[in-house]
Amino acid sequence: MKPNFSFEDLLLVEPLRLALEETGYKIPTPIQQAAIPPLLEGRDLIGCAQTGTGKTAAFALPILNRLAANPRRLEARRPRVLILTPTRELAIQIFDSFKIYGKHIKLKYAVVFGGVGQAPQVKALSTGVDILVATPGRLLDLIEQRHLQLQGLEVFVLDEADRMLDMGFIQPIRKVIKMLPERRHNLFFSATMPPEIMQLASTMLVDPVRVEVTPVSSTVELIQQSLMNVDKDKKRDLLRHVLKDPAFKRVIVFTRTKHGANKVTEVLDKSGIRSEAIHGNKSQTARQKALENFRAGRTRVLIATDIAARGIDIDEITHVINFELPNVAETYVHRIGRTARAGASGMAISFCDEEERAYLRDIEKLIGKKIPLNADQPFHIAYNGPVRPAPPEQRGGGGRRGNGGGRPQGGGQRRSFGGSGRPQGGGSRSDGPRPQGRSEAPRPSAGPRVGGPIANGPANGTRPTGRPTGNR
């Protein structure tokens, strides 16, 4: 297949071509370019890619093509395809994508996940489904209760394997793999490839094609990043302050903990700013509702923890605010990638208190540059390394501020297959105080995949917030 082929060049079945035409997709994304041809040939695949790259269509299209070209009679409780994914939100998104791409193909789909009653899921399975999207816990529950059998499976997709590992799902997954028929088509996706994940892949895949994309860098290039130094107990004031700017139309605020997310919502509510929180303690219904309100523009600010936000696919997020910096540098890149989707530009502002300086250093090493100081520093305090905002007359200039210092070393390497699984540019973690507290953030699992340069946006900030102003 020639490079940069179009969907037309792929010999997909007519109903799929029609659905793609209707979605307006013309050129496959890099992961689709790399994955679809070998998948159509029936090769196993290991893909290093994350949500936001077009990964869902990369596996959904060949699967739909296969099922449409080889019809089989529906069998109660025996799906032909199983897609395992770590979170309910991702499961729903994948399910929705299958329905869109497969709208002209006569197939049945179901999605099962925990936290909701199982009766409708059992009913759907009992009438037979071709394609099942599931989270691991509920899947195993249903299998144990004999509502589901995997013996008839033709295709198995393991999605976000590294996140599965972070969330403690590896044992359930091993259990599922043991139940699968020997002959099957396997697809394995993970954003990072630490050794445990490579090991799991090796038990599952037969002579796989390896595909790697570096989505984060390409997305992140469009994001204007900036830093606001702030005293820990002034963060809420700072958040209220930045949200006064009407340019902050659709904002995700990240906190490290569920408790922190709730607190921020309360504070914003008191200030008359409509916000909702999503995190692991919220019911499925509450999370869905919050996402819908946010998507529809009824809620201006969504407060999220990292796990809850994983896979959120909402376009036109104008700003990502790191109310607390993540303790895993790579999470920073995932977070800011929530904005600047679908080719739009976006802004990411990080609030950094003294205790988070070590996290900031890790992040800057990972992305290979300093995050520029925001022009607006209303709650700035000087740390041991003085980082002072420029006097007002200099603010538009983008010149060096304070201890602008040298560029961080390292960072920016691509994580590739077969590596050690440790961050290579991430630096030591013993160089500063660490905030305490229960965190929902995943543990570090692999090295950086940030390939290219990360643009910091224009250095001539004149707006009160959101505009970076050159180096520190």
Which spans of this chain sit near ligand AMP (rule: CB under 6 A)?
A: 25, 28-29, 32, 51-57, 313
Residue 55 CB, shortest distance to ligand AMP, in Å, is: 4
Instruction: Output 259 or 295, the one with its CB closest to ligand AMP.
Output: 295
Instruction: Output 177 or 222, the one with its CB closest to ligand AMP.
Output: 222
Helix (H, G, I), strand (E, B) or coil at 136: helix
For residue 110, what is the enclosing H or E element?
A: strand 109-112
Contact 328, 360 (CB under 8 A): no
Instruction: Output 34 or 358, the one with its CB closest to ligand AMP.
Output: 34
Task: Count other C-beta atoms under 10 Å from residue 41's C-beta.
Answer: 9
For residue 358, what is the enclosing H or E element?
A: helix 357-367
The DSSP line for 162-194 is: HHHHHTT-HHHHHHHHHHS-SS-EEEEEESS--
Q: Distance between CA atoms of 306 and 340, rounded to whole angstroms?
A: 18
Residue 295 CB, shortest distance to ligand AMP, in Å, is: 12
Task: Count other C-beta atoms under 10 Å from residue 111's C-beta.
Answer: 24
Residue 52 CB, shortest distance to ligand AMP, in Å, is: 5
Instruction: Output 55 or 467, the one with its CB closest to ligand AMP.
Output: 55
Contact 315, 297 (CB under 8 A): no
Instruction: Output 50 or 350, the one with its CB closest to ligand AMP.
Output: 50
Instruction: Output 50 or 275, the one with its CB closest to ligand AMP.
Output: 50
Q: Distance between CA atoms of 344 and 340, rounded to whole angstroms?
A: 5
Q: Distance between CA atoms of 279 and 144, rounded to whole angstroms?
A: 28
Residue 29 CB, shortest distance to ligand AMP, in Å, is: 5
Q: Distance between CA atoms of 357 and 359, rounded to whole angstroms?
A: 5
For the range 266-269, what are the long-range contacts, defined as Cβ-Cβ under 8 Å and sequence gap of 24 or more? 267/236, 267/239, 267/240, 268/239, 268/240, 268/243, 268/301, 268/303
Residue 94 CB, shortest distance to ligand AMP, in Å, is: 8
Residue 291 CB, shortest distance to ligand AMP, in Å, is: 14
Contact 452, 385 (CB under 8 A): no
Instruction: Output 51 or 65, the one with its CB closest to ligand AMP.
Output: 51
Residue 16 CB, shortest distance to ligand AMP, in Å, is: 13
The DSSP line for 251-302 is: EEEE-SSHHHHHHHHHHHHHTT--EEEE-TTS-HHHHHHHHHHHHTTS-SEE
Residue 125 CB, shortest distance to ligand AMP, in Å, is: 25
Q: Tokens 């139309």 label which residue?
A: 249
Per-residue tokens: 208: 């796989």
Instruction: Output 232 or 341, the one with its CB closest to ligand AMP.
Output: 341
Strand partners, 303: 253, 277
The residue number whose beta carbon is nearest to ligand AMP equals 56
Number of H helices, E strands in the chain: 16, 13
Residue 317 CB, shortest distance to ligand AMP, in Å, is: 13
Per-residue tokens: 347: 């802004």
Instruction: Output 58 or 110, the one with its CB closest to ligand AMP.
Output: 58
Residue 231 CB, shortest distance to ligand AMP, in Å, is: 38
CA distances from 391 to 319, 376, 466 (A): 26, 11, 18
Q: Tokens 């893909």 label which residue?
A: 47
Q: Tokens 């607390």 label which residue?
A: 324
Residue 27 CB, shortest distance to ligand AMP, in Å, is: 6
Strand partners, 301: 251, 275
Nearest to 264 by CA among 225, 296, 305: 305
Instruction: Output 52 or 408, the one with its CB closest to ligand AMP.
Output: 52
Instruction: Output 29 or 456, the one with its CB closest to ligand AMP.
Output: 29
